[in-house]
Structure formats: structure tokens, C-alpha cells
Amino acid sequence: MSSKKNVMLNLTRDFRRILTFYPDKLSSPFLSLAGKGIREFKGKIAVDRFYQFCDLNNIYAGETLFLYIKATSGDLKPIITLMDYGNKPIRNANFLGEKPSATLEYFFPQDVNNYTIKISGLRKDGTISTGEYSMLVGVNTPKVLLGRATEMGRAILRKPIPVKIGIKMQQITGVDQKSENFGVVATIVMEWQDSALAFNPETIQDRTKVYSGDSFSRAMSGKGTTWPEFTLYNQQGNRWAQNRIVAVGSDGRAIYLERFSATLQAPDFDFRRFPFDTQQFFIRMDSVLPEWFYAFEELEGYSEVGKELGEEEWLSPNLIRVLPRQRLQEGRSRDSTFVLRPAGTLRSTCSKFSSHSLSL
């Protein structure tokens, strides 16, 4: 009687321990129900983007991964590869890219994390098959291999973490028409939540950790944890951070604030209508990590253009407009812009957002 109580206690507190000690019990309806999960993942393979990645959440000893993928449009013949945390291939399916569908099965003898599924249309001969696909990924669910399963159970796929971003353009410190660049002082704010950042506070006063300078980046590197690192795509030279603060709550919520000055490239300057010209000033912010790690979104009500920019001949109203993602494909540039016009004329600003980069 006591042994049954012990098993139930272990199951409640740590299901991984049960799977480690009793992998043969996976056939038990009670145990397998606790470890089951099915999720659907859809995507598109194109000539200029002939691969995609799908990250897995932690998988525990004694569990089995089942995968079914099929093309839903085009001539796609999806090649799938299960890769470990170091991007080493573990198992392949449809390796030659000859079939429109494929299945994969893999048993995990030990706990793993940061495993990834790669979906590719690139064949060994260099040709690329393209089209849309639908993929079912399941843990301890063999029926996935039939391609007719529906989503259920635990979340086994790691979705991109949404990161809300806002930028305040506070000063234009100079405009160099010959070099086609401009200087700017601005403040960037990012907000996101990641369970990997959560911690158990010792006291009520310890519920928030505050980092300054590069200490947050060093702390994350020491823990092997990622965070939404970024670059200013059109930056020239260094970005000088006047202040950089990160506050992390015990629930994994984080707020990043940086006030900086930088020189930014503006290759679209056109002075043919000087002194009644209209110029576009770009501040484009790109994620260092791929889009399947973090998805940049607008921080509502934060982004703005300062009323006193420091360059009196350039004026801009305090107006930000967000365009839908599909609009990013229109026009000659995917960058979003501050459009600054000479004093006395109508003025407007515009910002655009995508899942992987944010530009102002």
C-alpha cells in the first residue's frame, strides 16, 4: 500500500522521475496520459527560404517522439531532420526529398532539451522543392504517424517568445548630406516574459532583480539562457549606451531600457527638391537570434518622436502608425521610417513591424 502512495507522490511532484525509473510503464493509461501531447505546425518553403526550424520543449527519459509531415501545396518534398542542442543530426526522414510526405519516430533514453526539427526543401543535388506543409508532432502518441491526429495534451513545441518593443526618438544631433547619415539620441524599451528567467525570491523585497550595463548579458551567458539581443541594422560605428537597465521579476517578466546615441545610415536621402525636400530617417532594429526564438511586436503607446529634436530645420509630429504585417512586402523597402519635412510643411511619421525585426 505504501509503495503505491510513493509512486503517486513521485508522479505528482516529478513525472520525469517516473519515466526514468519505470519506462516500461508507459503503456499504463494513467502514466501515458500525463505525458502525451500533440501539436500541429504549418509553414512554407520557398527558394529564398528553403528551410525552417521548429523547437521542441523538454522531452524526458523514456518518451518517444512521433512526427508526420505532408506537403499541402506546390511540389514540396519535405526533408525533416531531428537535431540536438548542438545542431547535430539525430534522425532523418525523406532524406533524398523524393516523397510529398514523411514520418519520423525517435525514442529518448534520457532527458533532453533544446532539440530542434528542421524542415528543408533542399535536395542533395542542389535542387529545391517548394510549397506549404502541415506537420503533426507528438510525444507518446503513435497515431500521429497516420497523419489524422488532433492537438491535445501538453505543449511540446516551443513557440517564439513575444517581445514588445518601443522607441522614442528624442534628438537628431546632426545630418550629414554628403555621407548620407544622421546622428540620433533615442530610448529603446523591450518587455517580454520567459520562464527561464523566473526565480524563487528569498524575501518579498527580492522579487525583482535589477541589472545595469552589461551585467544582464553576462548573467544570461553564464546560465546558458538566451534573451532578445538586437542590433541597429543601419548603424554606423558604435552605439553608445548612456544608460542600460534590465529589471527581471520572479515570474520571468523582464523590462529592458536603453538610452543611446548613434550614427545611422540613410541611403535614401534625396536633396533634389532642397530646401523643400522630404527625407526619410530610418531606425531599424533587428533580432540577433532567428525569428523562431523571439517575435517583435509593438509596445502600445510608447513610441514617439520628440518635440525638440535639436535640428530646427527638421520637424516631425508626434504620430506613430502601425501597418499590418502583409504590408511589409509593399514598396521598395521593408524598413519603417520617420518622415521628417522642412518647417512649415505637412509632416508625418510611420513605423512598421515584423515577426523578426522592428523598425522605426
Q: What is the mean pLDDT of each run of 10 residues along the chain (360 residues)?
A: 37 36 39 71 90 90 96 97 93 96 96 92 95 96 93 88 88 81 89 91 84 94 89 86 94 95 78 62 78 82 72 46 34 34 33 39
**Residue 283 maps to which CATH number?**
2.70.170.10
Report if residue 116 sits inside a domain.
yes
**Quick check: is 64 in a domain?**
yes
One-letter amino acid at 110 equals Q
140 domain residue, yes or no: yes
Q: What angle do CA 165, 166, 170 make, to 5 degrees?
A: 150
**One domain, residues 176 and 143:** no
Q: Which amino acid is at 156?
A: I
Is 203 inside any structural domain? yes
Residues 266 and 132: their CA atoms lie apart, in Å, by 37
Amino acid at 231: T
Single-letter amino acid code for the residue at 35? G
Nearest C-alpha neighbor of 348 from the set 317, 327, 324: 317
Q: Is residue 28 a part of any domain in this protein?
A: no
Single-letter amino acid, residue 212? S
Tell me the three cell numbers of residue 101: 510526405
pLDDT of residue 266: 77
Count the Cβ atoms, other than its own, within 10 Å of residue 245: 14
Range of the domain at 74: 35-158
How far is it, in rounded angstroms, from Cα 103 to Cα 146? 9
Reported pTM: 0.62
Question: What is the per-residue pLDDT for 311?
Answer: 52
If we measure between CA atoms, which residue out of 213, 171, 219, 214 comes closest to residue 199? Answer: 219
Reduced to 3 states, what is the DSSP secondary structure of residue 201?
coil
In terms of domains, do 151 and 225 share one?
A: no
Q: Are residues 256 and 275 in the same domain?
A: yes
Q: Using the 3D structure, point to which of 158, 185, 205 is the last residue of a domain.
A: 158
99: domain CATH number is 2.60.120.380
- Cell numbers 525570491 label which residue? 201
Buried b (16+ CB within 10 A) or exposed e, 279-317: bbbbbbbebeeeebbbbbbbbeebbbbbeebeeeebbbe
> Quick one: pLDDT at residue 302?
85
Does residue 217 share a domain with residue 327? yes
Distance from C-alpha of 23 to C-alpha of 226, rounded to nearest angstrom: 32
> Radius of gyration over alpha carbons of the chain, in Å?
25
Residues 266 and 148 in one domain: no
* Overall number of domains in the chain: 2
- Is residue 288 in some structural domain? yes
In a domain? residue 244: yes
